[in-house]
Structure 1
Amino acid sequence: MLTIEFQESLQENISNIKNTFNHTSDLIVRKIKPKSDGSFEINIVYLDGIINTDHLQEYVVKPILEHVKTATKEFLIDEMIDRIIESADVKTTNKYKDLIDAIIQGNTILLINGYQKGIIISSTNWKERSIEESLGERSPKGPVIGLTEQMKTNINLLRSIIKTPDFCVEEMEFGSISKTAVSILFIEGIVDKGILMEVRKRLKSLKIKYLLNSKVVEYVLEGKPRTFFNLARTTGRIDGVASSLYEGRVAIIVDGFPYTIIAPTLFMDLFQAPDEYHEKSGRFTNRMIRMICFILAVYLPAIYITIANFHKKELPNKISEALISKDELLSTFWEMVILLFLLKILLDASFRIPKSAVILLSLIGTIVIGETAVTAKLIHPVSLIIVGITAISSYLLANRGMFAAENTLRPIFLIIANFFGFNGIIIALTIQIIYMVSLKSIGVPYLSPLIPFRIQELKDTIFRGDLQTIINSKHSYTEDND
């Protein structure tokens, strides 16, 4: 396709276009001969189903039939753009590749016999769902509008909130076989320039055939080596994106996906929730509770196993008999492993089976894992409680991007606790903290502003500070992009 030249012969150009699209049946070629003597011919080419045919008929076909009769062939294209075609977005090109890309993107092209130039008319009409509540990040108070799959719709929604000419959009395309648009969003004058430059640099390094998953973009932004901690989080809420942009961050929207990638992403960001900025209560406790839940989700099973394996005799007899396995078939370690494994199966199955069967699955899971296993003395009741607390704590932070980290760290600490007890847990925890300190998100230390410590940034970290102070303050990031 790249070697095909634009020809003056209309029929040759149409033949090349049909060959490029492999004679697909939804490629429509509408022939128009405005003058009765047939002195010249116009062809309108588009893909059926992805353009607005009413717009095409009213603002392109009808004006052509009415006005081209009096137009001179020498100046026909100029007259069509300036005076005849009534569509808002019209441009010309003499590159064959530009015409093909325009058709793929839902535009209409207009070719005239004898002209080595084509007209591109915006007529896109992609089907999309209506604007709905963000189901993945619900909150009891505040805006509920969620992103859609259409990038232009999402940018439109953001411009309705960020009403400033400094709100900038940079569009890029990726894919050698099928091109997908990706937009970089930022606010000029607020965005951290170092972060913006690093985002551009990393995105330009992306070389792929097609883009069917925005996770590819996330991986490029996170850089190498790969880590189980999220260094680029996603959000499906419009207010969440706007807030990040006002903080000097960069947002990346991939066309076709109903969420936005935010960079940089820091560890403490994952404990925040949108409704905190609309509620008076919980400004000092909400994030602390979520931090405690992270600790419970990762370390609680390991602590329980350590107590059962190494400190059972140090506990009073009543407490020991009540909390730790005695007559059960399985040891405490294998109880935890099997329960966590079964819980993972139930979670995965609940997303795969029909919605009508979810209740039945929950009922079977409750009977098998809960009542039957305990009654048969396969599993100690406290093990079931520990796993339940672990699961609830884990799900609390799942939509913020902590699920992968929790699911990776939990089994590691389980194994270490089973063999090495509290000494092993302390050593492993130290290694984990050192590892987290070494991580950077777009060059920004992952544990910032705690490590390195920046007291001026603590006003919206462990607790939510005064809103007026937060809004009026300038956020800055410690960078190391070398």
Structure 2
Amino acid sequence: MLRRLGRIKKIGQLKQEKQSPQNNQQPSKTPDDNLSSDLNINITNLRSIYDNCSDVVFRSFLIEGKEKAVLLYIDGLSNVEELNDNVLTPLMKVSGKETSKQPTEQDANQQSSFTSKIEKKISVANIKEVQTYTDVINQISSGNPVILIDQENHGFSVALAKWEKRAIEEPAAESVIRGPREGFIESIGVNIALLRRKIRSPKLKMEEMELGSLTKTSVALAYIVGVADQTLIDEAKSRLNRIDIDGVLESEYIEEFIEDNPYSPFPQILNSERVDVISSYLLEGHVAILVDGTPFVLVAPTTFYSLMQASEDYYQRPLLSTAIRWLRYLFIVMSLLLPSLYVAVLTYHHEMVPTTLLINMAAAREPIPFPALIEALLMEIMFEALREAGLRLPKQIGAAVSIVGALVIGQAAVEAGIVSAPMVMVVAVTGIASFSIPRYNAGMALRMLRFPMLILAGSLGLLGIILGVIAIVTHLCTLRSFGVPYLYPMAPMKARDMKDVMMRLPRWANTSRPHLTGDYNKQREAPGQKPDPTKGGE
């Protein structure tokens, strides 16, 4: 019994030793704590935070041969050459006049003198003071080296961030024949500079914030004071501040948190890589959201007609742009309804087809073992598979596979009697029509809705198509983007703002901005600027 009690006592002592910290070890600082005036404690805590991080550099040195200091930076994120020339070299240089001076008691009352002396020696434009471990982590994670000095409970971060970034070039998905060729890249600093280059007024504001507890992604909210409604700006800030996520890797992460109806197939936030597109929406009173690490900038609010407009519409002649816009709306209807109309007519409404054409279509469909609905679904699924294969494969072979696959599979399917030639033509025309939609995410919504429309057409004929169209239009009427109706200015009808929806008026006739939310700056340009050669120079 005594042996058993002794064993129990030893086990309890071992548990207490495991649960209690060792007497020699001090609890490590948390990132929210302030920096210590003891440099060794700061280094120990930061090394524990960056344990097993081989790319974090701790460079110890002496300031003017007297004061102990350490330089922290992450290899690959900071400009090492500038760091050596403009920070380490001037700080480590020993001045003969100052070495003979002895520290006095007045130095304790002049904490700022040493700080100002450091700032004078460092020939870097932007220097910030850091007070906590969180500040140090954020700065070096952004590429800005941090200097910590002994007997100082604060440090300095120097703006010497440098990492590899892509060159500014034309976006591949939004190419134009006439217009600017520059697009955003993955660096938010460069993207903000590109917007500043377009809109040079100080009324263009950039409010930066960080999202993502682990990624610490920089996000900027851009708007023009006096043009964008303050209610819209406050709503955008509120929705962004509500986001609580561990990481933001692309602007779509934010889009899903701030849209009004997350279950709608239609996008309620516009995204673009083009600088001129984002600038034009800012000038109309919208807000833009820039995210570090992606070239796609978000614009809110967004309407259905904004998704159907291309940037090149405003760089061509007004009449030509209007004609192309009407063709685009026609192609949108075709991409959604053409296969459904074909299936409904062949299945239920033969009297709508001319006799000669009906005989030819019946002869083409005679060897086909499937009904028109199954035939259309097979072809649509195969076409979507070829389109996705062409997008995911390398560029060198993606286009060849999609084109050759469509030709070979279509011809082989017709000769094998699986599908008819008219069905191949209908699906091909539908695919071409869907390519005319300027925004890829809007085209994806119509492609997805094409399948339920086919099922309705195969089940109820034209009545099913009418019911499907009514359901889609009703859904569009209920959608909102940051409080703005999705079909604005068609529903609700605003005749004053209709001049840039179905047509593109000349520049001199478009004198007012669209009215989005609340108060707005109506005047866009001075009226009465229509060209008139009879007036002459005045």
1:224 to 1:313, Cα distance in 2 relative to 1, 3 A: closer
From 36, 49, 52, the equivalent of 1:23 is 52
Q: Secondary structure at the match of 2:67?
A: coil
Matched, 1:45 2:72: yes
Answer yes or no: is the 8 Å Cα contact 2:78–2:160 preserved in 1.
Answer: yes
SS at match of 1:285: helix
Question: Residue 258 of structure 1 aligns with which residue?
Answer: 295
3-state SS of paired residue (2:72):
strand
Partner of 2:31: 2
Corresponding position: 1:11 with 2:40 = yes
Q: Letter of the aligned partner of 1:11 in structure 2?
A: N
- Paired residue type of 1:298: L
Cα deviation for residue 54 of structure 1 reads: 1.7
User: Which of 311, 319, 336 matches 2:357?
Assistant: 319
Residue type of the alignment partner of 1:26: D
SS at match of 1:120: strand
Secondary structure class of the residue paired with 2:46: helix
Give the superposition deviation at 1:367: 4.3
Cα distance in 2 for residues equivalent to 1:396 and 1:270: 12
Among residues 126, 132, 142, which one is paired with 1:89 in the alignment? 126
Q: Cα–Cα, structure 1 residues 373 and 68, in superposed 2: closer, same or farther, change >3 Å?
A: farther
Residue 375 of structure 2 is aligned to residue 338 of structure 1: no
Find the residue that maps to 1:402 and give its secondary structure.
Answer: helix
Q: Which residue of 2 aligns with 1:159?
A: 196
For the 8 Å contact 1:233–1:400, the answer to whether it is kept is no
* Cross-structure match for 2:312: 275
> Structure 1, residues 345-391: CA drift from partner, whole Å, max 9, x if none?
11111233333433552365134422111112211111011101111
Match of 1:64 among 78, 91, 99: 91
**Structure 2: any 5+ residue segments left out of the alignment?**
1-29, 520-538
Give the CA deviation at 1:479: 6.6
Separation in structure 1 between the aligned mates of residue 393 and residue 115 of structure 2, nearest angstrom: 59
Describe the shift of the 1:189–1:67 C-alpha distance in structure 2 as closer, same or farther (beyond 3 A): farther
Cα distance, 1:225 vs. partner?
4.2
- Report if aligned partners of 1:445, 1:478 keep a CA contact under 8 Å in 2: no
**Paired position in structure 1 for 2:514:** 475
Q: 1:346 to 1:464 in 2, by over 3 A?
A: same
Distance 1:68 1:109, change over 3 A: farther
TM-score, normalisation: structure 1: 0.94
Contact 1:68 / 1:84 at 8 angstroms: preserved in 2? no
CA contact (8 A) 2:251 2:296 kept: no
Q: Distance in 1 between matches of 2:487 and 2:95?
A: 66
SS where residue 194 of structure 1 aligns?
helix
Alpha-carbon distance, 1:398 to partner: 5.5
Q: Distance in 2 between matches of 1:475 and 1:390?
A: 33
Aligned to 2:157: 120
> SS at the partner of 1:33?
strand
Q: Which moved more, 1:258-267 or 1:55-64?
A: 55-64
Amino acid at match of 1:50: L
Query: How far 1:322 moved relative to its partner?
Result: 2.4
- SS across alignment from 2:164: coil
1:224 CA drift (Å): 3.5
CA deviation digits over 1:223-256, x for unaligned, max 9?
3442111110101111001100000000111100
Q: Helix, strand or coil: the match of 2:93?
A: helix
Q: Alpha-carbon deviation of 1:437? A: 0.6
Residue number in structure 1 paired with 2:325: 287
Q: Distance in 2 between matches of 1:77 and 1:137?
A: 54
**Cα distance in 2 for residues equivalent to 1:309 and 1:41:** 87
- After superposition, the Cα gap between the structure-2 partners of 1:409 and 1:234, relative to the gap in structure 1 and judged at 3 Å, is same
Native 8 Å contact 2:337 2:450 kept in 1: yes
Q: Report if the CA contact (8 A) 2:211-2:247 is conserved.
A: yes
Q: Which runs of 5+ in 1 are unaligned?
A: none
The corresponding residue for 2:6 is none
Partners of 2:309 and 2:83 in 1: CA distance: 47
SS in 1 for 2:321: coil
Instruction: Report the RMSD for the aligned CA atoms in angstroms.
Output: 2.0
Match of 1:302 in 2: 340
Rg: which structure is higher?
2
Aligned with residue 448 of structure 2, among 405, 408, 412? 408
State yes or no: 1:143 paired with 2:180: yes
**Range moving further from structure 2, 403-412 or 68-77:** 68-77
Q: Which segment is superposed worse, 424-433 or 447-456?
A: 424-433
Identify the range of structure 1 (214-223 vs 140-149) with the bigger mean alpha-carbon deviation.
Answer: 214-223
- TM-score, normalised to structure 2's length? 0.85
Evaluate the alpha carbon distance shift between residue 401 and residue 479 of structure 1 in structure 2; reply closer, same or farther with a 3 A threshold. Answer: farther
